[in-house]
Structures are given as C-alpha cells and as structure tokens.
Amino acid sequence: MTFKRVAAASVAALMVASPVMADLVFPSLSYRTGPFAAGGIPYADGFADYMTLLNERDGGVGGVKLQVPECETAYNTEKGVECYEATKGEGALAYNPLSTGITYQLIPKATADDIPLYTPGYGRTSAANGNVFSHVFNFPANYWNGASAAVNHLLDLNGGDLKGKKVILLHFNGAYGKEPIPTLTALGEKHGFEFSTIPVDYPGQEQKSQWLQIRREKPDYVLFWGWGVMNQVAVQEAANIRFPMENFIGVWWSGAEHDVEPAGAAANGYKAVAFHGVGHDYPVFDDINKYVVDAGKAAGDGSNVGTVIYNRGVYAAMMLAEAAKKAQEIHGVKDITSGQMRDGLEQLEITNARMAELGMEGFGPEFKVSCANHGGPGTAAISQWDATAGKWSLISDFGPSDMDVIQPLITADSEAYAAENKIEPQCK
C-alpha cells in the first residue's frame, strides 16, 4: 500500500477524482467497520483479491486491467448512496453492495443510470424475474432457493415426508430476515409441516427469551436467517439449550467460520446452506496465494483465504469478470460500458469446463442466464461445521430448489413492483 501524500486539503477535495476510463471498474461498496464488519471484511478481501489475481496473472480481462475502488459503507444506506454516487463517476460497470438495504435503494437508481447490480444470494429475491428487473442479477441462488434447499435437506433426512414435523424460523427482524417467510409458509402447506417464526430485533445480542421459547416448543428443526452478532449469539444459545446442532440450519449468511468459532466445540454439527464451495482445496486459491498474498498485494492480511465469506467474494468477482469477458465478446470492444456489461451478465454462461479452467471445478453450479431469468438455477448445497477440524465441508451436492413453489411467488412480487412503478416487460 503506497501513500500518496497530498498536502493541500481544501474544500475542493469534496470533488470526486476524475474518471479513469481505460480500466474496467468494479467498485466495492464494502464495510470494514460497524456492526457487520465481521462478514464485510472477508467478503471485500475476496472480491478485491480475485480481481488483483486477474490483473497479476492474466493482465486483466481481455487485456484490460481491472480496478476495484473501495468505498466504506459501514452497512449504512446513506453512506451507500454516497458511495454509489462517488464511484459512479469513475465509470463503474457493476455494483455488488452486499447489503439488502443498499440494494433496495440502488435498484431503481442503477436501472435509471443503466448500471447493472449483481447481488448473489442477497438483495431483492424477486429480482430474479429479469422481465421486470432489467438491471438486477442475483444468480446463482436467492433467499427463496436457500429456504427451499433447507427444506429439501429436511425432506432427505426424513425420507421425503415432513408431515407433522415442527419447523421454526428464527430470523432477523428486518427486510433480509423476512424474505424467506412466504416461501417457507408455502412449502409448509405443501409438505404438511408446521411452520412458525420467531423474530429477533437488531442487533440480537440478547436472545434468551427466543431460545427459551424454542426449548419449550421443542421444534424438530430450526431454520435461521441472521447476520452480524445475531449469528454468534444464536449458535451459542442453541448450544446452551442443547438443541441438536444438526437440526439447526442457517442460511449462507449465517454459516461462516467466525459465526461458530466463539461457541467452540459446542457448535459442532451446525449446518448452513451454501451456494458455492467451501474450503481452499481449489487451484484458484493456490494462485491467489502465489500471485496476490505472497506478492504482498492482498487486500487483507491473507489469513482469510479459503474462509466461507472470502470464497463468496471470490465467487462474485469471478462472475463479474466472466460477464465482462462475455460483454467484450458480444460487443467486440475491449473497453465496455456499463450497458454492455449488463448484456454480458444477461448472456452469461458458466460451464463446468470453464470453472475447471478457472481453477474452481465444482465450486459452483453450471448455468445460463437469460433475459427472463436473472436468478440462475437456484441450486444450493448443505454445509456442516466440524469443530475439531475447524472447517466447513459440503455434505450434499448442489441440488435444485422447488421452483414450482418459488416461481409463482417471484412472479407475484415482481409484478406488484412492476405495477407500482409502471415498468414494461423488457423481454420479447
């Protein structure tokens, strides 16, 4: 990290740096401070490190260097808006804000500015309907796929029959935590399990009464949608009441190393849904270590490489880089615009062969994005925490989710949005 010491600090500093058009710019609206820093740091590191890897190893994408200007949001929507406006002028090609709140904010803005949003595994679930949300992409999986994947796992455990079982969703009492409720209610009706919810208010430092309630009601399974301090406390409290950890399943934002480590050995067996591979047994991480960490160019101190959230940052960066490559191919230019980037995302195709080339074989599913489907295949796997080995491992393959239930929900929600905002369907 070099320091450009600039002495003059005048009010003119409020002006944004002049645009650098020659590079492919992917701003990283990260949060390395504030209540969600624990998850924000590894994600931002992974995102930046993969882009650095492409620059160092391949000289960028299609010969054009990548640039990742970082902007701190502290998970705060207002700072998110400021960051968006500040980086927009630098020729941003796509945004990946890692915050459901900021995503909601940016959906209309970015669409109007013709800049795509890529929100893998978070944000507005119904944005999977590309017909309405032309500039939002949330492949390969969204919250509703995650909820369905968790239920599918429960079906597997019970030989396909969940009748009479009791499932509780413990969730963050906000936009993010409420997302899976419609899907789980619908799935409950379909499979005949009894479904109820227990909300936890921000920040979730204190969850005693929620867990006492769980202890009283003796549910067969607890599903969990948390983020921030809520994760560590929930895992600890579950261990405290001796809830069988293998019956406690979190979404992918509640399944990182730092979520389970404070609880120590008691967290053994805790499960989480995953939409990409875990661990560092992929060739791409060797490259990251070789070209980025060892070269002293890593965004963090390199200790996060291979952790769950870091991997997610790498995965997201990989998708954006692939989409940029696709956009270059479609339009035959090197310096793509954000509109062309959108086309690249919409026609993106990820094959297993390509994943292997990238050193990420089996890291994620094969899929193809289309105009109508911006949500990808919606496949997800289940991962489990091994406290003695101190690592997560996948215990199932990437399986499909119940699109019969999810698709009507996506259609209904996105069409309500289209009607409210008078959006014409974009696909012919």
Partner 1 sequence: MSEQLLFAAEVTLNGLMAGVLYALVALGFVLIFKASGIFNYAQGVMALFAAMTLVGVQQGQIPFSHLINAIFGTEIHHFPWHVPSIIAIIAAAGVMVGFAWIVERYILKHLVGQPDIILFMATIGLAYFMEGFGDLMWGSELKTLDVGLPQGLNETVLDATDKLFGYGFFLDNLDIVATLIAALLVAALTIFSQYSKQGRALRAVADDHSAALSVGISLRFIWVLVWSIAGFVALVAGIMWGAKSGVQFSLSLIALKALPVLMLGGFTSIPGAIIGGLIIGVGEQLFEFAIGPLIGGATQNWFAYVLALIFLVFRPQGLFGEKIIERV
Partner 2 sequence: MFYREAGDFKTSYKDDNQTFPIRLDRAGYWVALAVAFLIIPFFVNDYWVNAVFAPFFIYAIAALGLNILTGYAGQVSLGTGGFMAVGAYACYKLMVAFPEVSIVFHVLIAGGITAVVGVAFGLPSLRIKGFYLAVATLASQFFLVWLFNKVPWFYNYSASGQINAPERSVLGVIVTGPNTDAWAKYLICLVFLVGLAWVARNLTRGMMGRKWMGIRDMDIAAEIIGVNPLMAKMTAFAASSFFVGVAGALFFSVYLGAAEAGESFGITKSFLILFMIIIGGLGSIFGSFAGAAFMVLMPVLLKNVLVGMMGWPTDLAAHLEFMIVGGLIVFFLIVEPHGLAQLWRLTKDKLRLWPFPH
Strand partners, 271: 249, 384
For residue 140, say if its preceding peptide bond is cis, omega within 30 degrees of 0.
yes
Q: Are strands 136-137 and 117-118 parallel, antiparallel or unpaired?
A: parallel
- Applying CB under 8 A, which of residues 163, 216, 242, 422 lies at the interface with partner 2? 422
The SS3 of residue 136 is strand
CA distances from 377 to 291, 316, 427 (A): 32, 16, 19
Answer for the pair 224, 170: CB distance below 8 angstroms, yes or no: yes
Give me the least distance between CB of 35 and partner 1, in Å please.
Answer: 5
Residue 196 makes contact with partner 2 by CB under 8 A: no
Question: What is the β-pairing status of strands 166-172 and 194-200?
Answer: parallel
Number of residues that bind partner 1 (CB under 8 A): 44
Cα separation values, 111 from 36, 97, 106, 190, 342, Å: 27, 15, 8, 36, 10
89 binds, among partner 2, partner 1, none (CB under 5 to 8 A by kind): partner 2
Taking residue 274's Cβ as centre, other Cβ atoms within 10 Å add up to 29
401 contacts which partner out of partner 2, partner 1, none, CB within 5 to 8 A by kind? Answer: none
Looking only at residues 33 through 92 of this chain, which bind partner 2 when binding is defined by CB under 8 A? 33, 41, 70-72, 74, 77-78, 81-82, 84-86, 88-89
Partner that binds at residue 427, options partner 1, partner 2, none, CB closer than 5 to 8 Å by kind? none
Regarding 258 and contact with partner 1 (CB under 8 A), the answer is yes
Cβ distance to partner 2 smaller for residue 41 or 284: 41
The alpha carbon dihedral of 379, 36, 305, 69 has a sign of positive
Give CA angle at 344 (18, 338), nearest 5°: 20
Please answer whether residues 374 and 137 qualify as being in contact, where contact means their C-beta atoms are separated by less than 8 angstroms: yes
Distance (Å, whole) CA 380 – CA 364: 9
Q: Which does 213 bind (CB under 5 to 8 A by kind): partner 2, partner 1, none?
A: partner 1
77 binds, among partner 1, partner 2, none (CB under 5 to 8 A by kind): partner 2
Q: Is 105 in the site for partner 2 (CB under 8 A)?
A: yes
Out of partner 2, partner 1, none, what residue 88 binds, judged by CB under 5 to 8 A for its kind, is partner 2
- Decide if 97 contacts 106 (C-beta within 8 A): yes
Q: Binding to partner 1 by residue 236, rule CB under 8 A?
A: yes
Q: Which residues bind partner 2 (CB under 8 A)?
A: 1-6, 8-9, 11, 13-17, 30, 32-33, 41, 70-72, 74, 77-78, 81-82, 84-86, 88-89, 100-101, 104-105, 107-109, 111-113, 124-126, 173-176, 178-179, 181-182, 201-202, 409, 413, 416-417, 420-422
Q: Which residues bind partner 1 (CB under 8 A)?
A: 1-3, 32-35, 37-38, 41, 173, 197-201, 203-206, 208-210, 212-213, 215-216, 228-229, 232-233, 236-237, 239-242, 258, 261-262, 264, 266, 296, 301
